[in-house]
C-alpha cells in the first residue's frame, strides 16, 4: 500500500503544454491529507482488529474452560447420581433381606408356638381326663361309703 509520505514526495517531470504545476501541487496536497486520514483509519482499524482478535481468543479460551468445567460437573453429577442409586438399591436389597429373614423367623416362631399350644392342649386334655377319672373314683367312693352307712 502506498503511504501518504510517498504521495507527498512524488515529483512529476514537466512537459510542454503539460498540467498546471500549481493545480497538480494543490491536488496532491489535498490527496495527501485525505489519503493520510484514510491511512490512519486503516491502521487504527487494523490495530482494533488485532485487539478484537486477542479478545476473541481470550473469550474462546474462557468458553472452552467453561465447557470443560460444565462437562466435569455433569460427569461428577452423573457419578454422584449413580453412587446414590447403587446405595439406594443396596439399602432396598438389605431391607428386603432383613424383612425376609424376619418373616421366616416369625413364621418359625409361629410354628413353634402352635406346636407348643397343641402340646399344652394335649397335656390339658390328659390332665382333664385324670381329674375326671379322679372325681369319678372319689364319687364312687363316697357312694360306697354312703351305702355302707
What is the tens place of the pLDDT at every residue in 55-97? 999 999 999 999 999 999 999 999 999 999 999 999 999 999 9
Better pLDDT: 133 or 6? 133
pLDDT at 16: 74
Query: What was the pLDDT predicted at 12?
Result: 72
Counting residues of the chain whose pLDDT is more than 90, the rounded percentage is: 71
**pTM of this structure:** 0.47
89: cell is 438399591
What is the pLDDT, as a whole number, of residue 58?
Answer: 97
Amino acid at each position: 500500500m502506498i503511504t501518504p509520505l510517498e504521495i507527498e514526495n512524488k515529483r512529476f517531470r514537466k512537459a510542454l503544454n503539460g498540467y498546471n504545476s500549481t493545480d497538480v501541487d494543490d491536488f496532491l496536497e489535498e490527496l495527501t491529507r485525505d489519503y493520510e486520514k484514510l491511512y490512519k483509519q486503516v491502521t487504527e482499524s487494523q490495530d482494533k482488529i488485532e485487539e478484537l482478535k486477542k479478545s476473541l481468543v481470550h473469550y474462546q479460551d474462557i468458553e472452552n474452560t467453561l465447557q470443560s468445567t460444565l462437562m466435569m460437573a455433569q460427569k461428577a453429577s452423573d457419578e454422584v447420581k449413580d453412587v446414590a442409586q447403587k446405595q439406594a438399591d443396596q439399602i432396598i436389597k438389605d431391607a428386603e433381606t432383613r424383612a425376609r429373614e424376619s418373616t421366616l423367623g416369625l413364621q418359625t416362631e409361629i410354628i413353634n408356638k402352635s406346636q407348643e399350644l397343641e402340646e399344652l392342649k394335649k397335656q390339658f386334655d390328659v390332665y382333664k381326663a385324670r381329674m375326671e377319672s379322679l372325681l369319678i373314683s372319689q364319687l364312687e367312693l363316697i357312694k360306697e361309703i354312703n351305702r355302707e352307712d
